[in-house]
Amino acid sequence: MKAAVVILIIAASSATAAAQEPGRRQPLTLAELEQLALRNNPTATAAQAAVDATRSLAAQAGAWPNPVFGYTGSEIGQQRGQHGFFVDQTILLGGKLRLSRTVFDRTTDRAQAAVDLQQQRILSSVRSLFYRTLAAERQVEVHEHLAALVSEAVGVTAQLFNVGAADKPDHLEIEIETLRVQLALDGARNELFALRQRLAAAAGTPDVADRPLAGSIDTPIPNLERDTLIRTLLETSPQVRAARAELERVRAMTALARRQTYPNLFLRGGANYNRELNEPTGQTLGWQGEIEAGVSVPLFNKNRGGIAAAEADERRAESDLQRVELSLRAEAASQFATYLTALREEEVYRTQILSRAEEAYRLFLGRYRQMAAAYPQVLVAQQTLFTMTREYLGSIDRVWRSTAALQGMLAGDALTAPSVDAVETITFRRDEGAQ
């Protein structure tokens, strides 16, 4: 097996050995991490709470105005005064209650799209961070492998220096390189620690940071097709669905604004006890019923300002839907370009560059042992191998990031708060419909 291949599978073999250690916690798979994140990420709970709130508001919006119960009295204090009660009820005409309910139903649709968007954010971030962490683990393994190579070169240089076959500059160069490799190893370990913390934050479970991961960056990369992906994105993306639901909500608000000028029916009924005497009988007149009815007439307020504002907001929502679609199309094209470039880089590094860099380093190191080459040549070959390995792992990191972003419908980061628009209270108040 080629030496380059050995470098690339070091992490896989070490992870297997670690999983077999007694008392070590079971490695987490990507599917388990995704389920943990969907259950524990606080943004998912917040988004769902917005849906629950709008559903409750939708139910409330369809309720009738409360009746008014009251007492009436006239000629109070006189012997023949009248006392009674009444019931006053406003009946909203023109379908105002139905339209008000429709506004909140569309708001619920928008909030549900925000829930789906948040779930996509969580899944996309977890997948991206999962493979980034695996790549960082591989970086640490590669740095440790390179540190072992440098240590080997140190031993060779020391032997040659002791027998007078190597000079002082060679010895100093290898000492400097040892320090540089150690610093790079420390940096790789710090980066791995930070990524594990970010993964734990996305999953909403702090102890994830200490759990081993069951997976490998050598997993076959999904084959994405650009036109199909963009078409699916524009048809099913939660961002597009949210923008469409917002447009429907605003249209419902416009319809409601137009109906505000429709008359409302006012009914009033009751009974009074009349103490006046009935002359033929000499008895009090007793209980007498009464009823009143009326309608509001839109003579002075035709809600022209409200209708114009609603129509303007409708144009705003239409433009925003177009903006979301154009933005997603442009971002998808950019991400796909990154995906294709990184995919090609990963293939070339894996199949051609790394094996050559490893072989060149081994050849120079062998010639240096035989005193047929100067150490700077070994150092250059070693640095080339180190750089090529890092670039290879960087290409894997980029291709998995792009893949996660595209498959996650460009949703964004897992800890991004749900959209404020999804939880705002609609400005139409229930009591305004009765006026």
Which tens digit of pLDDT belongs to each residue from 300-337? 888 999 999 999 999 999 999 999 999 999 999 999 99
**Where on the phi/psi map is residue 219: left (φ > 0), alpha (ψ -120 to 50), or beta?**
beta
pLDDT at 165 (0 to 100): 57
Taking residues 271-291, what's their average pLDDT? 77
Residue, of 150 and 31, whose pLDDT is higher? 31
Start-to-end Cα distance in the chain: 84
Q: Is 178 exposed, middle or buried (0-12, 13-18, 19+ CB in 10 A)?
A: middle
The residues that bridge with 69 in the sheet, in sequence order, are 87
Among candidate residues 173, 174, 172, 184, the one with its CA nearest the CA of residue 153: 174
Give the residue from 231, 126, 386 showing the smallest Cα distance to 378: 386
Tell me which residue of 132, 136, 251 sits closest to 191, measured CA to CA: 136
Query: Class of the 47-434 domain?
Result: mainly alpha
Lowest mean pLDDT among 114-128, 331-345, 361-375: 361-375
Give the span between the Cα atoms of 286 and 275, in whole angstroms: 6
Closest CA to 65 of 371, 385, 435: 435
Phi and psi at 106, nearest 5°, equal: -70, -35
pLDDT at 300: 87
CA-based Rg of the chain, rounded to a whole angstrom?
37
Domain ranges in the chain are 47-434
Which whole number is the average pLDDT over 389-413?
89
- With a pLDDT cut of 90, the percent of the chain lying above it is 46
Looking at residue 23, its pLDDT comes to 40
pTM of the model: 0.77
Position 305 scores a pLDDT of: 93
pLDDT at 402 over 70: yes
